[in-house]
Amino acid sequence: MGKTVVDITMSLDGFVAGPNPTLQEPLGKNGEQLHEWAIETQSWRERHGVEGGESNADSEVVEEAVSSVGASVMGRKMFSGGSGPWENDPRSHGWWGDEPPFHSPVYILTHHAREPEEMEGGTTFHFVTDGIEAAVERAHAASGGRDVAVAGGASVIQQALAAGLIDELQIHVAPLLLGGGTLLFGEGGKPLGLEATRVLSSPKATHLKFVVRS
């Protein structure tokens, strides 16, 4: 069975989105800056159907994550867009477009049972109403032995950590302070020992990989 991993970008001050998300700035004020390191890479662009981009350490990190993940788990807000017009439409998948960038099964935690939906490019959205453990288990059953990524948002990652489900964390630290927004870990989490297993860096991000120890 593959590992269960978290792979996410946060600002040095710990935020995965900036303050005050709006339709124009769904990641909050300055939140887009978090992902500049990834968006400029060749592998990210290829996966999102855009040509060009840079081939460098950042690109290798994206490529490695993409090739090792066989299925993903995400929260309802990350699926449908936390502040988009889809927010209150349980049938929507407007956030990700017709050809989402996952190209593999995605398990969405929700309170609304719903039939799976097959998108273009290999992504199928599945809807799970019985909690994080069930979602991770179903994702592993569909991942072809590859890793399962708990993709976000922050509260889903916190739930997965609290339930002891995460084997590995890769945190991409973007060189900025957002000053507010959504904290990746927040208060009230479970104390956990980690083992640092790899550090890679570029001027645009520092990629920190940890194994969860206890």
Question: Binding residues for a second copy, per CB under 8 A?
Answer: 12-14, 18, 29-30, 33, 161, 169, 171, 173, 175-180, 183-196, 199, 201, 203-206, 208, 210
* Among 207, 210, 212, CA closest to 166: 212
The nearest distance, CB 5 to a second copy, in angstroms, is: 15
Spatial neighbors of 89 by CB under 8 A, at least 6 apart, are: 80
Instruction: Give 29 or 103: the residue with its C-beta nearer to a second copy.
Output: 29
The nearest distance, CB 10 to a second copy, in angstroms, is: 9
For helices 132-142 and 154-162, give the axis angle rounded to 10 degrees: 90
Neighbours of 89 (CB within 10 A): 12
Task: Give the Cα separation of 75 and 110 in Å (integer).
Answer: 7
Q: What is the DSSP string of 64-106?
A: HHHHHEEEEEEEHHHHH-TTSTTTT-TT--GGG-SS-TT-SEE
The nearest distance, CB 14 to a second copy, in angstroms, is: 4
- CA distance readout (Å), 75 to 43, 78, 119, 158: 25, 5, 18, 11
Instruction: Give 15 or 79: the residue with its C-beta nearer to a second copy.
Output: 15
The nearest distance, CB 208 to a second copy, in angstroms, is: 6
The nearest distance, CB 105 to a second copy, in angstroms, is: 28
The nearest distance, CB 75 to a second copy, in angstroms, is: 19
* CB distance 4 to 167 below 8 Å: yes
Q: Please, what is the Cα angle at 17 between 204 and 60, to 5 degrees?
A: 35
Instruction: Give 57 or 134: the residue with its C-beta nearer to a second copy.
Output: 57
Task: Give the Cα separation of 184 and 9 in Å (integer).
Answer: 9
Instruction: Give 23 or 199: the residue with its C-beta nearer to a second copy.
Output: 199
* CB distance 64 to 3 below 8 Å: no
Instruction: Give 110 or 206: the residue with its C-beta nearer to a second copy.
Output: 206
Instruction: Give 149 or 183: the residue with its C-beta nearer to a second copy.
Output: 183
